[in-house]
A and B are shown apart, each in its own frame.
Chain A
Amino acid sequence: MNEPLEQFHITSIKHRKLSVRELWSYRELLRRMSHRQYRLRAGKSFLNLIWPFIRPAVMTLALIYLRQMSGANFGVDLPYPLYVFSGLCFWFFFAELTINLAGSLSSNASLLQKVYFPPIVPPLAIMISRLPELLLILLAVGGLQIYFGVGLSEFWWALIPALLTLFALAAGIGLLFAGLSLVYSDVTRILEVILYLGLFLSPVFFAIEIYPETVRGFFAMNPMGGVLSAIRGSLFTGIGIDWSSWGYALISAAALLLAGISVFVRAEHLVRENG
């Protein structure tokens, strides 16, 4: 009967801290929103998740043909189809997740202006909703790996940390652009261009080693290089992991995540204010 009532203190502190306890009390909302996001992407059937594979598969076939016709050396030790298919799958997964996260503030603006809930729930829900798709990618890549007879890497334990780095990087960039998109109208377009260029600046189609020494340093600035190296290295045996570029990716992801959250909470304040 005399349960202590929950008490909430409203103060003029602009930027609310992200509270894990509060997030826990909103777990049902997180579950619902994740489910909704998943349904938006997959529709009624899990099979609809095949569609994201069409683009990498077509591009893989085109590149295999191109490589055979031209006899170009892409500097890849792995069977080329496995290299390029895994690269494309994880790249598109990253790019679409980032674009999705960058829209998470504006698409929830009207809701944020009407009712309070932890603003981090929608971006978290987007990330959670992508997990089945990630599993499907791993299954497809694993199937191809078995087909080509490539063994499981001795660094298999690095897979989860490598995928977490990918999520952290996507979240950092996504939240940053979610905030920026409120004050600069064209910023989402710019992000799309960056991600499109990033496809060619990352080791997706070919290894960075084919570039001359002078430009390689420039390519090394792209944190996705380290992430893709870590993911491939933890899946496929014999190629190893470029630890230093993964380390660089981790540091950039952490820095972008901090910047992203800081911009995101301020932008969330701006959204509610303009209601």
Chain B
Amino acid sequence: MAEAPQLPHISIDVRKLSKRYVLGASRKGIGRLFRTATGDEHWALNNVSFEIRSGERVGIIGKNGAGKSTLLKILSRVLVPTSGEAIITGRATALLEVGTGFNPQLSGLENIYLTAAIYGLSKAEIEDRVQSIIDFSEVNRFINAPVKQYSSGMRARLGFSICAHLDPEILMLDEVLSVGDAAFQQKCLTRMDDMTSHGRTLLFVSHSMSAVARFCDRCIWIEGGEIVDDGPAAIVCDAYNRSMLSLASTYTNKAQDSAETKSATDTSIETSPAGEGPKEAKEDEEGKDDDKVACELVAVRVLDHQGEVTSTIKLDQDAAIEIEYEVFEIDKRIEPALHFRNESGDMLFVLAFTDDKFPQAINQPGRYLSRVAIPPNLLNTGIHVLSATLVTADPLERHISVDNALAFTVYETHSDDAQMSARGRYARDFPGVIRPRLEWHTKQT
């Protein structure tokens, strides 16, 4: 056989899966059981196909109602597809809700046995795991108390703990990390990490892009029941974030492009119709010649370590920002400046023009291309929004200002050598608006 021996087998093979819901079904009574419902149709999933190989960690993202949960429910056999098929190879466990099947009257211990049995474990298998389930859930003291006396956090911990110890070959999780406190969420993520690094297949539905980007190698973006994008997690998450915030990955002044040959004063300002898109504002000071435009922004781009235009940069690699602009007036001393903000809009820092070759800034008309290097291990992971301005520094005169000109995503991958990044040996969520890796010097004293 000419089969590639290295390729792991397919764990989840989804072929043209569709799911139709009928809204406001017209059938009444017994007809609802025996006849196909008619009414307004809604395709929660429409002809979805993909393959997931053993050991892959796949995130599923999309807005509410995009079909993510329907997909997971079909794969976990809770729902039956309207058409299409899926083949699951290996024991699969789906956790659609933490604490599923808990009986409040029964004790924590009895609930462990009952829940594990609902997930199809045998008695011996449950007995093997029961101690580690109790330990992980941190409810040791209350394990013989009825679950109705538990706090919601304790319930969530016990629920996740059971599922985390079911040891399936394929684990499917739906938003389970939205419960519990931050410390426990972290513990869950670490446990998932352990499980999946042992070759288990993970299917993970989440709204948390950072969790998906960090724990998944691959990401499937579903919208309106169809696959929009399927690829490396960092790239798909970035595209998704960008589309949610309607942010572009590069900025190009369209008017400038089309008006290259026209008079410079002819340039009109393009503003994006989307509220959060790039906003351009020209601020001319009083007493200046209003008709004359001193300069024009042409484009802003993000470059990766190889100099290619990109929208995602890796945490521990070189990157650069490139700004292209046109100067029309002599002696205006025009200079570009960049403002870095994070997703929440916090200003991270401002980059002023400090190019040694132009101590007096730009005082000759012409088209210029300035590039500034972003060193590795400076920015933290996540979305970064860039605003670009063209100013005269002294006296301050702001000629062009494009807010939210572009956005890029900084990501790290799970397989990265942690020592190379500022996180060191920390496996947890690494907070901070920036993430510099600074040099330590230690000696024994």
Contacts and interface: CB of A to CB of B under 8 A. Distances in A.
Are A and B a genuine interacting pair, yes or no?
Answer: yes
Given A28-B117, A28-B123, A8 B30 contact: no
A214 interface: no
B31 to A, nearest CB: 8
Contact of B92 (A8, A26, A36): A8
B86 interface: yes
B100 A115 contact: yes
Interface string B80-116: 1111111111111010110011010010000001100
Nearest to B126: A28
A6 interface: yes
Given A12-B83, A269-B80, A183 B114 contact: no
Interface in B46-99: 73-92, 94, 96-97
Given A114-B97, A183-B30, A13 B80 contact: yes
A114 B101 contact: yes
A76 interface: no
B229 to A, nearest CB: 24
Interface in A1-50: 5-14, 16, 25-29, 31-33, 36
A59 interface: no
Interface in A175-200: 179-180, 182-184
A26 B32 CA distance: 29
Q: How many of chain A's residues touch chain B, expressed as a range?
A: 35 or more
B118 interface: yes
B100 A114 contact: yes
A32 B78 contact: no
Nearest to B11: A5
Contacts of A16: 80
Contacts of A51: none
A156 B34 CA distance: 43
A28 to B, nearest CB: 4
A32 B85 CA distance: 32
Residue among A36, A114, A180, A273 with most chain B CB within 10 A = A114
Contacts of A139: none
B89 A7 contact: yes
B438 interface: no
B149 interface: no
B85 A9 contact: yes
A147 interface: no
B104 to A, nearest CB: 12
Residue among A12, A179, A263 with most chain B CB within 10 A = A12
A26 B119 CA distance: 9
B316 interface: no
B96 A114 contact: yes
A169 to B, nearest CB: 21
Contacts of A32: 113-114, 117
A273 B79 contact: yes
B118 A117 contact: yes
B34 to A, nearest CB: 7
A36 B33 contact: no
Interface of A: 5-14, 16, 25-29, 31-33, 36, 111-117, 179-180, 182-184, 263, 266-267, 269-270, 272-273, 275
Interface of B: 9, 21, 28-30, 32-34, 73-92, 94, 96-97, 100-101, 103, 106, 113-114, 117-123, 126, 169
Please list the 7 inter-chain residue pairs (A to B) with the smallest Cβ-Cβ separation, ordered nearest first. A116-B77, A29-B117, A10-B86, A266-B33, A114-B100, A5-B90, A28-B117
